[in-house]
Chains A and B, each alone.
Chain A
Amino acid sequence: DAGVTQSPTHLIKTRGQQVTLRCSPISGHKSVSWYQQVLGQGPQFIFQYYEKEERGRGNFPDRFSARQFPNYSSELNVNALLLGDSALYLCASSLAPTSGSYNEQFFGPGTRLTVL
């Protein structure tokens, strides 16, 4: 079975541009979460979606947005890119929302975003 897939693998953008990152969850998983991992730090939670609805949001500015499609895949959009947005963006999928449940998250390989 395929794991969580993310595209593209690498991306280079300039300040002020917009970027869209894509994630396909494991088959049967209905929840997708997005994380930002800056070099030398742990992943920081951005969003969680379940059944196309936002179920959790981390402390990120409104420049960050996401959505989930009927096939449970997801996109993360970042507008007006800043140098500080350079990071590895991770997608994780689970059967259902992770709070108070026995669902574990499975992570994809990430998209490396570089903002120049």
Chain B
Amino acid sequence: AQSVSQHNHHVILSEAASLELGCNYSYGGTVNLFWYVQYPGQHLQLLLKYFSGDPLVKGIKGFEAEFIKSKFSFNLRKPSVQWSDTAEYFCAVNAWNNDMRFGAGTRLTVKP
């Protein structure tokens, strides 16, 4: 069964700093990849997704992620974070069996 690892449990950045959150998955077949965000007091929202094609995908609010198949990775990036990006970020993988696997999440705190 597939699994997802998020390397950072808690990341603290100052505004305007660059962000990269790591995500690795284990599954040998075709997968769909997602990043979700959960702002304080709100429900999970989709940031971006990869199904096929260009491995560099762009999402909402200036986020992007790169799928590197050889490394089984799907890292999330943002060139310049804002205080409003403070949230919990989840990487997720969906394979053939409708079983969506989520990572444990990375809590991002952006200091103003």
Contact = CB atoms under 8 A, between A and B. Distances in A.
Interface of A: 33, 35, 40-45, 48, 55-56, 58, 90, 92, 97-100, 102, 104-110
Interface in B1-24: 4, 6
Interface of B: 4, 6, 30, 32, 34, 36, 42-46, 49, 51, 90, 92, 94-105
Contacts of B32: 98-100
A21 to B, nearest CB: 15
A109 B105 contact: no
A92 to B, nearest CB: 8
A40 B92 CA distance: 16
Contact of B45 (A41, A56, A107): A107
Contact of A100 (B30, B43, B101, B103): B30
Nearest to A55: B98
A60 B51 CA distance: 28
A44 B102 contact: yes
